[in-house]
């Protein structure tokens, strides 16, 4: 009897998201190496940032100018698929697979996509409200933090069912925020410049992922209210 492949337990939508993240980076790398695309391929990554990244100016176009064109609205969900570094892509792909597998098992495969897109949009909106101008937001971490939020809520429920301390559900986000704080300090010292304010979108993504999980989890809002009444 052949052992079952680990990929068989990962929801197809999670695999599709991961392949999209990796596939776009592969195209950038092949273009930079001159294998595809010709001389123009050297600028594909910057062109993608220009066409698909998000910024405060994009939100202004929507709220102030009333521009609801596809070219504007797509940026709310396309920016996570543009990454600047190969290591960033590797982390995004690995975390999407790992977190997507858990979230898909607990909530259902389709709801992984709901969490991913919803937290991408919320992260972009909060970023646009806090960071003015054209400083771009791109990279896959805001929706990954959204998946962490969904994971945290699922773990919070399971710890409650087991009668354990539910504060332990927040250990992962605590560790990540600590690493990010250390990274910001190192960047500030080494480069004598503030790190990009993408943490605004990432933290917003976490809270958005946790919040929407109140509705997406088995039992939905009723389960959450029941848990709160038991603690009261």
List the beta bridge partners of residue 54. 137
Count the Cβ atoms, other than its own, within 10 Å of residue 117.
16
Confidence (pTM): 0.88
Tens-digit pLDDT string for the chain (232 aa): 455 555 558 899 999 999 999 999 999 999 999 999 988 898 999 999 999 999 999 999 999 999 999 999 999 999 999 998 888 899 999 999 999 999 999 998 899 999 999 999 999 999 999 998 889 999 999 999 999 999 999 999 888 888 888 888 888 888 877 776 676 555 555 444 556 789 999 999 999 999 999 999 887 777 666 666 666 5
Q: Looking at residue 121, what is its pLDDT?
A: 98
* pLDDT at site 194: 59
Is the CB of residue 119 less than 8 Å from the CB of residue 77?
Answer: no
- Cβ contacts of residue 17 below 8 Å, gap of 6+? 96, 100, 112, 113, 116
Which domains are seen in the chain, by residue range? Answer: 6-231 (1.20.1540.10)
pLDDT of residue 191: 47
Burial per residue of 141-161, b for 16 or more beta-carbon CB atoms within 10 angstroms, e otherwise? bbbbbbbbbbbbbbbbbeebe
* Helix pair 199-216, 141-161: axis angle to 10 deg: 40
**What's the rounded Cα separation, in Å, for the pair 122 and 76?**
8
Task: Give the model's pLDDT for residue 181.
Answer: 66
Name the residue with tokens 């962490």: 148
**Predicted local confidence at residue 163, as pLDDT:** 81
What CA–CA distance (Å, rounded) separates 172 from 194? 25
Quick one: 209 exposed, middle or buried, by C-beta within 10 A (0-12, 13-18, 19+)? buried
Helix (H, G, I), strand (E, B) or coil at 137: strand
CB within 8 Å of 146: residues ≥ 6 apart: 115, 116, 118, 119, 120, 122, 123, 205, 206, 208, 209
Could you give the 3-state DSSP secondary structure of residue 1?
coil
The answer to whether residues 170 and 152 touch, using CB atoms and an 8 Å cutoff, is yes
pLDDT at residue 122 in the model: 98
Residue 30 CA to its chain's centroid (Å): 25
């Amino acid at each position: 009897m052949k052992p079952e492949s680990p990929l068989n337990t990962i929801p197809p939508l999670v695999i599709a998201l991961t392949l999209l993240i990796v596939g776009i980076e592969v195209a950038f790398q092949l273009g930079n190496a001159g294998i595809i695309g010709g001389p123009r391929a050297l600028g594909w990554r910057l062109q993608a940032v220009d066409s698909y990244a998000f910024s405060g100016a994009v939100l202004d176009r929507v709220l102030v100018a009333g521009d609801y064109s596809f070219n504007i609205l797509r940026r709310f969900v396309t920016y996570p698929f543009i990454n600047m570094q190969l290591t960033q892509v590797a982390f995004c792909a690995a975390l999407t697979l790992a977190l997507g597998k858990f979230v898909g098992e607990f909530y259902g495969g389709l709801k992984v996509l709901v969490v991913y897109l919803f937290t991408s949009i919320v992260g972009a909106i909060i970023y646009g409200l806090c960071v003015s101008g054209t400083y771009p937001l791109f990279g896959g971490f805001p929706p990954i933090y959204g998946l962490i939020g969904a994971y945290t809520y699922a773990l919070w429920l399971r710890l409650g069912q087991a009668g354990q301390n539910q504060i332990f559900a927040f250990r992962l986000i605590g560790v990540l925020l600590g690493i990010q704080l250390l990274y910001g300090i190192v960047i500030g010292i080494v480069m004598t410049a503030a790190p990009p304010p993408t943490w605004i979108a990432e933290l917003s993504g976490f809270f958005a992922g946790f919040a929407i999980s109140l509705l997406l989890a088995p039992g939905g809002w009723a389960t959450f209210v029941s848990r709160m009444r038991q603690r009261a």
